[in-house]
Each structure stands twice: as C-alpha cells, then as structure tokens.
C-alpha cells in the first residue's frame, strides 16, 4: 500500500512539473509574419514521409531545448502543437525557422542546409495537435 501511495505521489508530481514546464501563456508574435512570397513557397519534400525521421533528428539536435520533446513549448518558446502554429503554411514555417525572431529568443537556422529546414517543417506536421484552450 505504501508503494502505491508513493507511485501516485510521484505521478502527480511529474504531471504537475510537465504542466508547469509548458508554455501555457504562449501568444503568437503578431509582428512576426512571413512575407507573402515566402509564405506561398511550396515544400519540395511534401508527401515524402521518408524524410520525417531526419526532421525528427534535427528537431532533437536543435529545437527540444526550447520547444520540448513533443513541441509543447518550454519557457517562452512557442507551443508548436497549437492550431495557430499548425495552420501556418509550410512556407511560413520554413521562413520562421530560417529567419528566427531575435526579439523573442528564436534563433535563426539559416546555417542549416535548405532541405534540412524543410525536413524540420515535415517533422513539425507530425506533432500531436493540441486544442486551443487559451
């Protein structure tokens, strides 16, 4: 019985820690908009599910520190599961990855080869969707 109580306590503690780590107050920066031409760009890897694993590896190398393992957003980083993020075009996500947003702590990843940035976009599309409850 004592072990079961300890297990429940640890589970509740870890659940609370996870919720506190999420960026529950994330609001999209209204001034960080891709130019129309960039937003309209088509993903050259669209439909290629074979590149998603590479995108996941890139995400793990460059993005989880701020966005968390499942893209939930840590600290002030964007919650990549939210509809407001997932509704953006592939071209917009590519542009945001490429240019970054220094005002809000998002670094530029223009140093990554272009196809790797598109792979990141492909991986972002696989993140579990979160309902907009904010």
pLDDT mean across residues, the chain: 85
pLDDT, position 30: 79
pLDDT tens sequence across 25-69: 556 677 889 999 999 999 999 999 999 999 999 999 999 999 999
Indicate the Cα dihedral angle 100, 84, 23, 57, nearest 10°: -60
Per the CB < 8 A criterion, the answer to whether 83 and 129 are in contact is yes
pTM score of the predicted model: 0.79
Domain coordinates in residue numbering, the chain: 2-124
The dihedral over CA atoms of 122, 125, 127, 128, expressed in degrees to the nearest 10, equals -160
Q: Which of 6-20, 25-39, 114-128 has the weakest average pLDDT? A: 6-20
Is CATH 3.30.70.260 the right assignment for the domain spanning 2-124?
Answer: no
Place of tokens 């460059």: 62
The CA-based angle 32-83-108, given to 5 degrees, is 35
């Amino acid at each position: 019985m004592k072990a079961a109580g300890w297990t429940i306590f640890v589970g509740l503690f870890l659940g609370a820690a996870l919720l506190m780590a999420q960026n529950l107050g994330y609001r999209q920066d209204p001034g960080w908009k891709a130019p129309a031409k960039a937003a309209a760009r088509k993903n050259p890897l669209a439909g290629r599910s074979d590149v998603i694993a590479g995108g996941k590896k890139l995400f793990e190398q460059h993005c989880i520190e701020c966005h968390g393992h499942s893209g939930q957003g840590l600290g002030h980083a964007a919650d990549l599961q939210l509809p407001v993020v997932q509704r953006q075009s592939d071209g917009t996500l590519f542009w945001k990855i490429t240019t970054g947003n220094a005002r809000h702590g998002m670094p530029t990843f223009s140093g990554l080869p272009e196809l790797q940035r598109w792979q990141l976009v492909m991986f972002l599309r696989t993140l579990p969707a979160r309902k907009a409850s904010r």
